[in-house]
Structure 1
């Protein structure tokens, strides 16, 4: 049985931490990164890492950031609105304007006198191919790779601890890492106790394309399905990290559970999870999506084993909430002590200075 761990987490005494520079760290890519001083001018290759900095530089997660690719503004406008209203200086930070695939403006990095680049591990091939990594190495600008998406169970806690050491915020990093590990252990323990491994098809950003069936492989949402003990169909069928699977193939794989992710976007067909939405708004889109042509041939759609989850839990360190939601979907009625919404509010309220506002994370 999963027991409440929040009070225990808050009550645990924390050691006094302080980073000493020069400091050499090993990042998730296995590379040795030496920091000569505490970084004060940071570039974010993927701007969603601002949510990691919110766990560490709690009073002002933007105060070190000199440039970034503002992914929240592009993909998660509700969270961006919260960020900029709480810290207005965010709007003045240089937005390099690139996607999250591994692009950095070297001129911007140089002009901002950058002393650390934080990058997602999945972006390394692109950064290497374009010569960015080699150029930064010649300029003695360190690059620290973190990861919440390719190997979330292995690397999320490690990434937060790594950033905590790099930014001289070990105490804050350790407090969140302790909470994260407690919740993860509880999920994994519960999953191991189940008699059956459920087969899952997960459709990220459901409604973004007209037809079924886009999905993730071992990474992203597929990785979170596997993390909580599910058998992810995309992992067995896709040659890469993401792609389309035919409806006929999904039907033939006989999934036990069908999960759709979404967030509020200009495309009204996407499930509008997140801040500033009502259950009715989610319900209307959810019912339209599950009644798309052909989906009624998939067994979990027929049986009512179809669920929705807020999309933006797969690519930052709050992914533990995504795991909790999926675990409850996979093991209906078996994990009643899991409360993802309460845990999310706990993260926001006790590990960040973000406003603790109403949010819809899942449906039904």
Structure 2
């Protein structure tokens, strides 16, 4: 590799001029002033990685990583970001609009396409000259096959794997600490973690004291995104959230991995007491679909009307939840963010309303916004047919 490096660097320099031009002015103007020093960290995949910290130029392999970056550095979350994948723009347009209003220069940030388990275009990475590339854990297999990390390492561009999606209850807090460390925001990271612990204890302690019966729950994943039924979760992610909230996730009995699918007959046979739909505004992907446009600022009348369609699906014919109207919709992005404590509180309130009458997930999330985020809280993350219209 060494004998090819002069040619490779020359090609990279030419490519940077031809394709990208100079780096955006706002990135230079907002560069972090702290002096960098070598740092060795261990990422979520257990890899030891050497980089220069605090990092000044991060490339986000997923745009939704902004949820955490902004929590750690709300004064100017874009100061350290040189490029990102465009998924936040398309998958969470309401949150993107909030950040765009607060930070208009976000519109100038280099964005690239991709999917959750795909490679980041290597030319896009090289051009931006990042101090670090943040990738989701689920991209690891693809990256190994393509020798992506090794190719970047030859150019002194380190890669860190993080995870909010596959094992969020296990990996979210290590991810928070990892980013806090490389950004020089370790104290801030611990404040976020303490907040999460307190929010989760509001549910855990009550359930431990009363030990209520656990209702059977079916999670319909990405409800309304397609006509398929019935995508769901195994024992991880929302499946785990259900258990922490005092329910029993029927997908855990059938699906061996984080994500999977049941057939309608399995759902009917399981006879769930509650059905929870994870959904969001996916107009960019499925125009006019049955999805529920949950997220900041969502109109409750619109989301309730969209939720009304789900009990009519064949998979729910005659189940207990259909009789009691215990159908609920919740923001899908709780599955891929450091905010899952909000989802756990909301699920607990639906499953055990008498035990959690005084619990207010909206107030919890609003407090998180006040303390850690640069945007104002707007409700709209959940809807339920069991509530009075």
Distance (Å, rounded) in 1 between the aligned partners of 2:382 and 2:298: 10
Paired residues of 1:28 and 1:145 also in contact (CA < 8 A): yes
Displacement of 1:296 after TM fit?
A: 2.9
Change (3 A) 1:238 1:172: same
Displacement of 1:229 after TM fit?
A: 4.3
Question: Which is further off, 111-120 or 332-341?
Answer: 332-341
2:166 matched residue in structure 1: 150
Displacement of 1:323 after TM fit?
A: 1.4
Distance (Å, rounded) in 1 between the aligned partners of 2:379 and 2:242: 26
Paired residues of 2:52 and 2:131 also in contact (CA < 8 A): no
Paired residues of 1:261 and 1:310 also in contact (CA < 8 A): yes
Displacement of 1:356 after TM fit?
A: 2.9
Partner deviation per Cα, 1:309-339 (whole Å, 9 max, x = no partner): 1111110101111111112222232122321
Paired residues of 1:157 and 1:181 also in contact (CA < 8 A): no
Partner deviation per Cα, 1:216-264 (whole Å, 9 max, x = no partner): 2233322322343433222322244323211111111232321112112
Displacement of 1:197 after TM fit?
A: 3.0
Instruction: Please provide the CA RMSD for this pair.
Output: 2.1
1:345 maps onto 2:352 in alignment? no
Which is higher, the Rg of structure 1 or of structure 2?
Answer: 2
Partner deviation per Cα, 1:104-159 (whole Å, 9 max, x = no partner): 11111111111101122222222222221222233332222222222222221221
1:274 matched residue in structure 2: 295
Question: Which is further off, 194-203 or 46-55?
Answer: 194-203
Paired residues, number: 347
Change (3 A) 1:331 1:19: farther
Distance (Å, rounded) in 2 between the aligned partners of 1:212 and 1:280: 25
1:248 maps onto 2:248 in alignment? no
Displacement of 1:268 after TM fit?
A: 4.0
Paired residues of 2:362 and 2:379 also in contact (CA < 8 A): no
1:216 maps onto 2:233 in alignment? yes
Distance (Å, rounded) in 2 between the aligned partners of 1:66 and 1:160: 20
2:219 matched residue in structure 1: 202
1:305 maps onto 2:322 in alignment? no
| One of 33, 38, 53 as aligned partner of 1:37 | 53
Distance (Å, rounded) in 2 between the aligned partners of 1:150 and 1:194: 28
The higher-RCO structure (CA 8 Å, 6+ apart) is 1
Displacement of 1:358 after TM fit?
A: 4.1
Displacement of 1:69 after TM fit?
A: 0.6
Displacement of 1:212 after TM fit?
A: 2.8
| One of 266, 276, 283 as aligned partner of 1:259 | 276
Change (3 A) 1:344 1:36: same
Q: Which of structure 1's runs of 4+ aligned residues deviate more than 6 A?
A: none
Give the SS at the match of 2:333: coil
Distance (Å, rounded) in 1 between the aligned partners of 2:258 and 2:342: 22
1:324 matched residue in structure 2: 345
Displacement of 1:361 after TM fit?
A: 2.8
Distance (Å, rounded) in 2 between the aligned partners of 1:19 and 1:189: 44
1:288 maps onto 2:309 in alignment? yes
Give the SS at the match of 1:66: strand
TM-score (norm 1): 0.89
